Amino acid sequence: MANLVIDTGNTFTKIAVFEDDKLVFITKVSELKEEDLNTIVQKYAIKQLIYASVKQDFAFNVDVPVLKFSHQTKIPIHNLYLTPETLGLDRLAAVIGANHLFNSADVLVIDAGTCITYDFINKQKEYKGGSISPGLQMRFKAMHEFTGKLPLVVLDENNTAFYGASTSEALQSGVVNGLIFEVTGYINHYLNQYPETKIILCGGDASFFDTRLKNSIFAHQILTEPHLVLIGLNKVVNYQHD
């Protein structure tokens, strides 16, 4: 069965096609156009569509069943979040995707985007919550905007020495090394409690952490999966028929 999976963020929309659990097509657009969707529906013989959006609802004019992913949607995990209606749907979809990839394991999802989120789902499919922290760019902007003289620094991945010899280098060092310490600290915390925990990196800045963490002692436990949210949404739409 071919599913059309759509994830709309603040800037871009990701469109993917899954045949069963295999990702066979993906693209990213700034504007969702009806004619493009209909072309995909026909080309891949789409049977159903699921979408998640941080903005408005869409009126899809397509000849297949459409499911809007919401907090009321039936899901294949136990969501134990105390305020489920406030949980970001991207975080929820990501842990569903993580549980699908590692069905019988404890998994820590690190989503490195505008914010960095740390979400844990155990092998019993129980999601209790996680942590939210400022992302890379947000940290640079915050130090510039909330101080009188610190400049706005653009990330230079080749200039992240531990000792910054200038203000610009010191800002780079503080943000980059501070984040690495934070991420490794979270990983260590979960591994101490759940030694076999799998770690999945996703989000726009995942590649930044990928190289640094895979050179660490955690290398054998880390998977980088940029399409984790889409994988989770695909699992959700299939689960409606289970």
| Catalytic residue, candidates 21, 57, 63, 90 | 90
27 in a known ligand binding site: no
One-letter identity of residue 44:
Y
Give whole-number Cα distances, 65 to 34, 49, 74, 78, 235, in Å.
15, 6, 16, 25, 16
8 Å CB contact between 121 and 109 = yes
Does residue 83 have a known ligand-binding role?
Answer: no
Query: Does 190 count as an annotated binding residue?
Result: no
Q: DSSP letters of 64-83?
A: S-EEE--TTS--SSEE--SS
88 φ, ψ to 5°?
Answer: -60, 130
DSSP state, residue 135: -
* 10 is known to lie in a ligand binding site: yes
Q: Is 13 annotated as a binding residue?
A: yes
Q: What are phi and psi for residue 186, nearest 5 degrees?
A: -65, -45
Asked whether residue 212 is marked as a ligand-binding residue, the answer is no
Give the burial class of 38: count Cβ atoms within 10 A of its Cβ; 0-12 exposed, 13-18 middle, 19 or more buried.
middle
Please report, as a single letter, which amino acid is at residue 7.
Answer: D
Judge whether 90 counts as a catalytic residue.
Answer: yes
Residue 89 marked in a binding site: yes
Q: Which residue has the tokens 């190289």?
A: 211
Say if residue 103 carries a ligand binding annotation.
no
Does residue 14 have a known ligand-binding role?
Answer: yes
73 is in an annotated binding site: no
Q: Which tokens is 131 given?
A: 């942590």
Residue 129 counted as an annotated binding residue? no
**Which parts are annotated binding residues?**
7-14, 81, 88-91, 111, 114, 167
Binding residues for substrate: 81, 88-91, 167
Point out the annotated binding site for K(+).
111
- Residues noted as catalytic: 90
